[in-house]
Amino acid sequence: MMIDKTQYDDIFSGVIGQDYELLNLICPLATKMSCLVGDKAAEYAAQTTDNLNVVELGGGTGITTLSLLAASDNFNILSIDNEPVMQEQAKKHLHKWATNGKLVFCGDDALTALQNIATDSVDIVASAYTLHNFLDTYRKEVMQQIFRILKPGGQFINGDRYALDNVSIHMRTIQQEVSGYFKVLTQINKLDVLEHWIVHLFSDESENHVMRESVALAQLQDAGFSDINLSNRLEVNALVTATKPD
């Protein structure tokens, strides 16, 4: 059963707790994108009554995983994340679904995990705020593997940081984002978290990591995807979907 959108905050806060609350405080657009990934997956699920195989890349502490679990009772989810500390939190948060057999965890890196999945066996590959962390060469290989494992008609759904093609506007947007981090985190005396986010942002914006919109969409096309669409642009964040042709 899908969950009413107005209930998202209550549900996420109840299950994910402080992890969700802090992320929503620092970067509310990130939690918004996780919900949008779930919404788009729900649209796909509404087309069939069959059980669907879903692979999630970068499950983290379980925020996007929960959005997917909330999207449909017909999902069987494999959540992949090679960061053990965060995945252990997700296992704790989402124990109920793992016990019920709706959720399985994998601790391999994304590329290794995808390479071990059978061709044409997955209905949806979903992710939020994971692909932009990859080196561009690694990301290209990941996209090729995503295309391989999807069934014909399967969908790729990603809510992520898609850098604006206009570099000047992108830089001004990043400056505003950083200013927001300082405003929020200094008020609650979370200077350690502030340091972590700023250091991570330098990595996100580095030349071999940044996921520029036009380049990312071209990469999907090169991998073989069709119906490629970027929507819900919110500053440097956007939702991208693509389909493996029948």
Q: Which two tokens stand for residue 157?
A: 């759904």
DSSP calls for 126-170: EEES-GGGS-HHHHHHHHHHHHHHEEEEEEEEEEEE-B-SSHHHH
Sites in the chain below the pLDDT cut of 50: 1-6, 8, 11-13, 16-17
Domains of the chain, by residue range, sit at 5-164+209-243
Backbone Cα Rg of the chain: 17
Residue 244: strand, helix, or coil: coil
Query: Whole-model pTM?
Result: 0.89
pLDDT of residue 18: 54
DSSP calls for 3-72: PPGGGHHHHHHHHHTHHHHHHHHH-HHHHHHHHHHHHHHHHHHTT-SS-EEEEEE--TTSHHHHHHHHH-
The per-type count for the chain, helices as H runs and strands as E runs, is 11, 7
CATH class of 5-164+209-243: alpha beta
Amino acid at 12: F
Question: Within 13 Å, how many C-alpha atoms sit on residue 240's CB side?
Answer: 29
Q: What is the pLDDT of residues 74-90, one digit of tens each?
A: 999 999 999 888 888 88
pLDDT of residue 150: 98
Q: What is the pLDDT of residues 156-174, one digit of tens each?
A: 999 999 999 999 999 999 9
Q: How many CB atoms lie within 10 A of CB 9?
A: 14
